[in-house]
Structure formats: C-alpha cells, structure tokens
Structure 1
Amino acid sequence: MVSDFFYPNFGGVENHIYQLSQCLMSMGHKVVVVTHSYGDCRGVRYLTNGLKVYYLPRLPFYQQASFPTLLGWARLLRVICLRERASLLHGHQAFSTMALEAAINARSLGLKVVFTDHSLFGFADPASIVLNKILKAVLADVHAVICVSHTSKENTVLRACLRPDSVYVIPNAVDASQFTPDPRVAWPSDPESEEVVLVVLCRLVYRKGVDLLGLVLPPLLARHPRLRVLVGGDGPKRKLLEKVVSDHGLGDRVALCGAVQHEHARDFMVRGHVFLNASLTEAFCMALVEAAAAGLVVVSTAVGGVPEVLPPDLIVLAEPSAEGLLVGA
C-alpha cells in the first residue's frame, strides 16, 4: 500500500488503507504500508496486528502531498519491495505523488499494480488539466483501477481516458460494530422545546464545504433556539468558523472541538442527534455511513457519489447551497 495519506493524518483515505490492510492480513496476506514521515513519526513502525509501516523522509508541500521527484526514491522503493518480497503494489489517491511515482517504478520492477482513486476532479482548471494528464500516463500501464462509487468511476474514466471495463467499483465500507448507537442518547420527543445537537466531523477545508457551513450556521441557529452545534476537525478553514462564531455571538452554542482521532469518532458522533455534511465534492463520504451506523439522522449535500452511499430512508439530501442546506436541516 503506497500513499502520501496515512495515520497519524486523519481522513477517509487513511482509514480506508488501514482497514483494507487489516482485512487482507486477516485473510493471510502480508501487507506493508509506505508513506512519508509525519513529524517525529519516521522510520519503521508497527500498528495493530503487526501492520508494518515505512515512514520515509519525503517532504510534504501541499495538504500532505509530498514534493514530486519521479525517480528520486526509486532505489528506496526497490529495496523495500525486495526486502518485503512484494508481488503487488496498491497505490491510493490521484493527488498522492508517492502513489503515482510508485506505480511507475513498480512496473519497472515487474510488479502488478492496482490503483484506487478516492476523489472527484474537474476538467477545466489548470491544476486539474495537469493532474489528468499525469493520471492518464500513469494508469495506462496498471493492471486494474478501483473507484469508490459509480460517479467516481465515470469521472476517472473520462479524466484518464480508460476503458470502462478496466475500472471496478468497490464502495467503501465501515465496521458497524465500531459505530453502535449510544442507548443513553434518545431523540428529543419535542425538538422545539428540547435540545438538539448537530454534529459536523470533517477536515476544515474548502472542498468539505466549510464556507457553506459558515453561511448556514447563523440562520440555522436563529431558526432553532434549542439547537447546539459540535464541530470536529481541523484545517485552514477553522479561522473562518471562529470568525463566524465570534461575529454572531454563537460561542455558547457552537463548539469547535478540534481534530478528532478516528478511534474517538464514534464517541464524538453519538454526542449528537443530527450529522451534517456540507461537502462541495465527494466521491464517497465514509463519515455518512459511520454516522448512520451510530444512529444519527444524516443530512448531506447531494454532490458526487453521495446519493449512492445510503438508501433514501437513511439520508436527507440537499442542494449544495445555503438555501438548500437550510431546507434539508
């Protein structure tokens, strides 16, 4: 498994790689994860059930994606593959430079290569044009491509000019036993007079709809006097939420709780009654499945692969706008 995104960083890709590795190990396969160092987390570490992780000395330069070198770490990857007797390399995420470079280098070593794309990207802006050209070149020589939703498959097929029959859809999954409802938290019998807690748990970045959330919170709280909001997660958009809370005097009703480790995600979610996802783009949002398993009412913007995630009776879909979210919530 190769990606720039892995623990201790928090997110859907990181959790996906970890859970997939654990499942493969339980089936008798040997799995090794290769990522870049995170602060003091460098060298070789062992996680649950002996999952071996190589934290390599790579320099992250944008949202934990490492600086591209192409052949700069080819020798190191070769040493790891020979030492671990690797037969297959699985890269994750289209904007992970480590995954893209490893896919190229692994083919030169004669390994089979599988690539999983976890996100949706555009076609017109300069960054997307460059990334799509790179993705087309890299995926032209891999054995299989996996996407996490049918919307994601369509997006990847068009961006990388792939044959649709070479791309497989395997939706993300959640171990529901780790996200059981809290029997002590009951839905208010009268939401107008009893407190209702709304939970948000995501990276505080633009594509997760934090700007949209900042627009929605003041009118939503004004409409529902008994509503309280818990926001979990961290990122560059935290300052925007802090300003919204300060400007509208919402400090006693909106709690910015900071980063939440995945092992504590269930405990954070069950503190509330409603889970809100305001993403502007999503290939597949695992937090929606986790929140539904934990017994929360799920409200989300209808973007990307989100309509495929849960059946209609378990999710309220809204237009990705302030007005749409206000109607949905």
Structure 2
Amino acid sequence: MVSDYFCPNTGGVESHIYHLAECLVQRGHQIVIVTHHYEGRRGIRYLSNGLKIYYLPFVILFNQCVIPSLLSTLPAARYILQHEKIEILHSHSSLSTLAQEFMFHANLIGVRTVFTDHSLFGFADMASVAGNKMLECSLVHCNRVICVSHTGAAIVFVFSKENLVLRSSFPSERVYVIPNALDTHHFTPDPSQRCPSKINIVIACRLTYRKGIDLLARVIPRICNEHADVDFIIAGDGPMRILLEEVRESGYLQERVKMVGNIPHNKIRQILVLGNIFLNTSLTEAFCMTILEAASCGLHVVATRVGGVPEVLPKDLITLADVSVDDIVLVLGKVINRCRAGLQLEPWKVHRRIVGMYSWTNVAKRTERVYMDAVQDERHSYANIFAKHLSKGFLFGILMCIFVFLDLLYLIFLRICDSTKNVLSARHKNIKSHEQNGERQWVFNNNNSTLRQS
C-alpha cells in the first residue's frame, strides 16, 4: 500500500490504510506500506501487528505530499516491488503524489495495481482540471478502482463512483464501492469525561481550505457570542491553523477555544470523549472517517451537506447544514439547545448502533475480492501502454508517452546496473573462494611437510 498519508500523521486516509492493512495481515496476507519520511521516522519500521513500513527520504512540497518528480521515485519503487515480491500495488488518495507515481512505475514493471479514491473534486477550476488530468494518466492501466461512497453533491459533484469515472475516464465496470469502517472496540463513549456545566464542540481534521477552515473561523466567534456555555476543542494541524489562531486572539477566546494540535490516531478518542457535539465543515468529502469515530464515542454530529457525508450516519445521529456560515450557525445553535435541554440520545445506545453498521473485517473481505479480480487481469504490453496514453489527447498524450519512454530507459539502465553488479559480485565471490581454498590447502600441505600450494 502506498500513500503520502500515513502514521504518525492523522486523518481519515491514514486510519483507513492502517486498519485495512491490519485486517489483511490477520487474514494471512503480507502487507508492506510505503510513505515518505516523517520527523523522527526514516527507513524501515516494523509494527507489532506485523506491518512493515518504508519511510522514504523524499522532499515534501506541500500538504504532506512529496515533490512530483516521477523518475526519482523509480529506483525505490522498483527495489521495493521486486525485493518484497509484490503482487498487488494498492495506492491511496488522488492527492498523493507518491501513490500516483508508484502506480505509474508499477504499470511498466508489470505489477497489478488497485487505487482507492478518498476524495471528491470538481471539474471547473484549474487545480481540479490539472489534478484530474494527472489522475487520468495514473489510471491508464490501473486494474481496479475502489471508491468509499456512492453519494455526492447535486450541483458541482456527481456520485463518488461516477465522479471518479468522469474525472479519469476510467471504465465504470472496474470501479467498486467499499465504504470505510472503524474500530468500535477502541472508540467507545465515556460520559464521565464531559463537563456538566459546559457544552464542548470538538473539531478534528487537517486544517486546510478543503476542510472548510475559513467557514469555521467565522462560525466560532458567532457561536461563542450567542452561547456563553459553549467551548471549542480543535485537534489537528495544517496551513490554515494560523487563521484560527488569529480569530482566537482577536476575539479574546483563548480560554474557550483550545488548540491541541496534531493528535496520534490512537489518542484521538481522549479528545472526542470530552465533547458533546462533533462539528465538520468540509467543502468536499467522499466519506469522513472522523464522523464515524465521533458518533461511536456518543457525540452528536453536525456536518455540511457535501459529498458522501449524508450517507455515513442515520438522520437521527447527524444534523446537516448547507455550506454557508449562517446555516452552520443556525443548525449548530439548534443542536446546542437540544443538548442543553438533555434531549440528545444516550451515548452507549448510539455506540451500539454504530457497532452493527461498520466492520473492518467486512471491508477487508470485500477488498480481497477486488485483489483477486485484479490478479486475473492480463499484463499490458508496452505498445498497448503507449497507445492508451496517446488516446488521452494529442499534446498531453505525446507528453505522457515521452515520460513513459524515459521511465522505460531508466528501468533498462537500472536492470543493466543490477546485472553488472551481480556479475562483479559473483566474480568477487569466486576469487575469494579460491583464495580461501588455497590458504586451507597450503596449511594442509605445510603440516605434511609439502611446499606445494594449489
């Protein structure tokens, strides 16, 4: 499994990869995870559950993604795929540079590929157009694609599965929908941790524009002015943290808005159980893992009506708002009043309902079937790869064919270097073996008063 997003970073993609890999290991598969290095983590690490992780020393550009370079990742991709005897490369997140580049290399090396899309994107802005074109290139010879939800917004986005099909021109018959799940044994309620005189609203996400942090920065002051007994707890980090810090300082809300920073995923429950309400203000979301985790801890969820969010929970466990500051404040105010009146559902009843809805074991079984279908696909010839790229547009197709050609040349160069290294290594071993045999023969002959050495 390959992605820029993995532990110790926190988020839905990181959690998905970890739990899916853990369940697949329990089912007898050998799983290797590849990501870029994090502070204090570089090289190969082993986890107690049997996972092997490569933290590769690539330079990070923005938002925890490595610099797009293509050729520089080929030696690492080739070594890991061959050394670990990989049969399936499973890439995660269309935002991950490392995932897309490894998938590009794997196609040429002959390894079957599966891609899981965790996000929804539009088609109008330049960033989406460029990202969708690169995704289309990466998925040219991807064997299977997994989406985490069916539902999308009605105006800008279409269904998550159809969203990806439109964005990447990928055949819809090879796209599967497998929702996320969570570890309900870990995310359990603890009402004793709540403050009886306060209503805590918890936010846990990457502090980026896509997560609606600009909306959140305008919601917090209004809620604090209207409700004196409401505090905010914000877990997470990102480029827009400074905006929240400015709002907190300008409104003198340091005592009411707590910024706890990046929290390891195994400790996020300690933050969630402090809250009564969980708030999600995302602008796009295919399937929000943290919503599930918060509901499993007994919190009522307030979220924006985007992407796959409406299908995550039953209507009595989640309250949806439009993507506007006024509507979020209005909906959040109603939920606060219900919470103040004691009309919220009992946390343990909510938890038991979540237990019956989502299971990582079921997700692992369904993912296994996708892997089995991918393994049965025939490998594509290089001529077919070039033809596929040319079919994606004249100028862009030629450009991608140049990249494929350079990638193939580099791959041939690495193979020649390996064969030369093996020949030199074999000769070195033979010379060393002859020298050792000769030394042993000399000693033997010397003991027999013979001065002949063979």
Query: By the TM > 0.5 criterion, same fold?
Result: yes
2:218 is the alignment partner of 1:210: no
* 1:187 shift after superposition: 9.1
Summarize deviations over 1:141-180 as a string: whole Å, max 9, x none: 1110011111321211110012222111111111111110
Name the counterpart of 2:136: 136
Q: CA RMSD in A?
A: 1.4
Conserved? CA contact 1:118–1:152, under 8 Å: no
Aligned-partner Cα distance in 2 for 1:320–1:312: 18
Give the Cα separation in 1 of the matches to 2:102 and 2:309. Answer: 30
Whether the 8 Å contact between 1:187 and 1:273 is mirrored in structure 2 is no
Tell me whether 1:153 sits opposite 2:156 in the alignment. no
The equivalent residue for 1:289 is: 292
Q: Secondary structure at the match of 1:73?
A: helix
Q: Distance in 2 between matches of 1:317 and 1:282?
A: 13
Per-residue deviation, residues 241-279 of structure 1 (Å, max 9, x unmatched): 111112122222111121111111111000111111111
Please, what TM-score do these two structures have when normalized by structure 1?
A: 0.95
| C-alpha contact 2:113 2:142 (8 A) present in aligned 1 | yes
Structure 1 CA distance for aligned equivalents of residues 66 and 195 of structure 2: 44
Residue 56 of structure 1 deviates from its aligned partner by: 1.2
Contact 2:63 2:238 in 1 (8 A): no
Q: Quick one: distance in 2 between partners of 1:185 and 1:64?
A: 33
Measured in 1, the distance between the counterparts of 2:100 and 2:245 equals 36
1:224 aligns with 2:224: no
Task: Name the residue aligned to 1:44.
Answer: 44
- The structure with the larger Rg is 2
- Which residue number corresponds to residue 300 of structure 1? 303
> Closer, same or farther in 2 for the Cα pair 1:186/1:245, shift >3 Å?
closer
TM-score, length basis structure 2: 0.69
Alpha-carbon offset, residue 186 of structure 1: 6.4
The question of whether the paired residues in 2 share the 8 Å contact of 1:231 and 1:258 is answered with: yes
1:199 aligns with 2:202: yes
Q: Which has the higher helix share?
A: 2
Tell me what 2:4 maps to: 4
Higher strand share: 1
| Pair 1:176–1:99, CA change in 2 (3 A) | same
CA contact (8 A) 2:59 2:66 kept: yes
Partner of 1:191: none
- Taking the TM superposition and a 5 Å limit, the aligned residue runs for 1:257-268 are 257-268=260-271
Gap runs ≥5 in structure 1: 189-193
After the TM superposition, which parts of structure 1 deviate over 3 Å for at least 4 consecutive aligned residues?
185-188
What is the aligned partner in structure 2 of residue 124 from structure 1?
124
Give the 5 Å matches for 1:1-329. 1-150=1-150, 151-185=159-193, 194-329=197-332
Q: Secondary structure at the match of 2:116?
A: strand
Unaligned runs of 5+ in 2: 151-158, 333-454
Give % identity: 50
SS in 2 for 1:115: strand
Give a deviation string over 1:184-226, Cα, whole Å, max 9, x none. Answer: 25696xxxxx421111111111111111111111111121111
* Counterpart secondary structure, 1:9: coil
Alpha-carbon distance in structure 1 between the residues aligned to 2:163 and 2:123: 9
Q: Secondary structure at the match of 2:35?
A: strand
